Amino acid sequence: MYKFAGLFLILTVGHAADLTVGTAVAKSGQRATGFIQVSAGADAAASIPVIVINGASAGPKLALVAGSHGTEYASIVALSKLAQSVDPAQLKGALVIVPLVNVASFLQKVPHLNPIDNKNMNRLYPGKPDGTQTERTSWEIGKQVVEKCDYLIDLHGGDLDENLRRYTYWADTGNPKLDAPSKGMVLAFGFDHIVIQRPRANAPRPPGATSAISRFAQDRGKPSITAEAGHAGTSSTEDVDALMRGCTNVMRFLKMLPGTVVPVEKPLWIARYSTVVSEQEGIFYPLAVPEEYVQKGAKIGYVTNYFGQTIWDVTSPISGVVLYICAVPSMKKGDSIGYIGELADAAGAQ
C-alpha cells in the first residue's frame, strides 16, 4: 500500500536544525510557542498562535493548520490538544501547528468570515502584504508556514450553521510527485469518505488568482490534504479524537513517529459534490441528515415564510450522499443549504 512512500519522504540523517516560525524558536528536541505577527494596515494587526515541535532527529516538516473559520471548534481543539501530546524526543522532523488562524472569528463567534474585513480566511492565498487583515494574514502564513513545510494538513469542520459527516479531500492534480504521497496521507488519515478534487494539472493560474491554503501548498509542490469533522459548532470528544488520530496516523505514514498505519481499506470515493443553494428567504427545516443517501429529486428540506407557510421544497440536484446540511433555521436567498456528494463509481471517475 505504501510502496511509493520512500520515493517522496524527505528524510535526512542527524540532528534537526533550529526551526523558527514567527516568534517561536525551537531547538532540536524541543517545543516552542509564539505568534505569527500580522502588522496593522488599513485595519487592525493580528497575532496568530503557533506551536513548533522540533524533533530530536531530522525528517520532514509537516504543517497542521486549523481555525481558518474560527467557529469550526472541533478542529481548533484537536490541534491545541495534539500540540501537547507529541513528544519531541520521539519525533523525526518537525511539526508547525497553527491551531487558530482566524482569531477575530473565534472571539466574536462569527462563522465563515473574518469579521474585521468580512473576507473568507481560506480563499485568499497567497494574500497580499498590503491588503486587508485576511489578505495580510494569508500572506504571512504563506511565508512562515507553507513555504517552510514539506507537507500540509488543513483541518475544518462543522461551522455554527453546518451539520456534517467526517470526510477528507484529496487532490488528483495529475502530478505523481504530489498525488502519490497525498493519496497515502489521505488513506492514512482514516476517514472513509474522500472527496476527489481535480485542479488543472500543471495549468498556469490566472494573474491574481487566489485559493484555499491546500491548493496554494499544492501549487508550491507540497503534498496536502484537507479533513472535515464537527457538528454545528460543537467540539465533541469523538470528532476531536478522530482529527487527532488522523493527524497522528499521517505522521506515522511520513515516518515522523513510530508505529504502524492501517490505511482505509474500502474508501468511498466521491467524484464531485453539488452545492444546494437557497432560492428563498425564510425558516429552513432539514429533512435529511449527514451520511444519508438520497436520490435525485428527493426532498431534503423545506423553507417556510415567517408565518409558517411552506414556500419552497428543497430537493437534491443529484443522487448521492449528504456531506453536510444547514443546521440552523436562518435562511436567506443564496445561502448554502448543503453538499450532496456524487459517488465516483456512479460518475465513472475512480
Cell numbers at 188, concatenated: 492514512
Backbone angles phi, psi at 341, to 5 degrees: -90, 130
Query: CA 274 from chain center: how many Å?
Result: 19
Nearest to 61 by CA among 133, 147, 138: 147
Q: What pLDDT does residue 12 have?
A: 40
Angle between helix 237-253 and 176-189 (nearest 10): 140
Q: What pLDDT does residue 200 have?
A: 64
Question: Which residues have C-beta within 8 Å of that of residue 331, sequence separation ≥ 6?
Answer: 278, 280, 281, 282, 283, 284, 303, 337
Prediction pTM value: 0.93
Backbone angles phi, psi at 338, to 5 degrees: 180, 175
Return the amino acid letter for 181. P
Return the amino acid letter for 332. K
Catalogue all structural domains in the chain, each as residue range(s) with its CATH number: 5-253 (3.40.630.10), 272-347 (2.40.50.100)
Q: Are strands 268-277 and 193-197 parallel, antiparallel or unpaired?
A: parallel
The HSE-up count of residue 99 (CA atoms within 13 Å, CB side) is: 20
Return the amino acid letter for 344. A
Contact 225, 168 (CB under 8 A): yes
Tens place of pLDDT per residue across the chain (350 aa): 444 444 444 444 456 689 999 999 999 999 999 999 999 999 999 999 999 999 999 999 999 999 999 999 999 999 999 999 999 999 999 999 999 999 999 999 999 999 999 999 999 999 999 999 999 999 999 999 999 999 999 999 999 999 998 999 999 999 999 999 999 999 999 999 999 999 865 566 677 789 999 999 999 999 999 999 999 999 999 999 999 999 999 999 999 999 999 999 999 999 999 999 999 999 999 999 999 999 999 999 999 999 999 999 999 999 999 999 999 999 999 999 999 999 997 444 44
Distance (Å, whole) CA 149 – CA 326: 35
Q: Please, is 153 exposed, middle or buried when counting C-beta atoms within 10 Å of its C-beta (0-12, 13-18, 19+)?
A: buried
Q: What pLDDT does residue 207 have?
A: 74
Cell numbers at 245, concatenated: 488520530
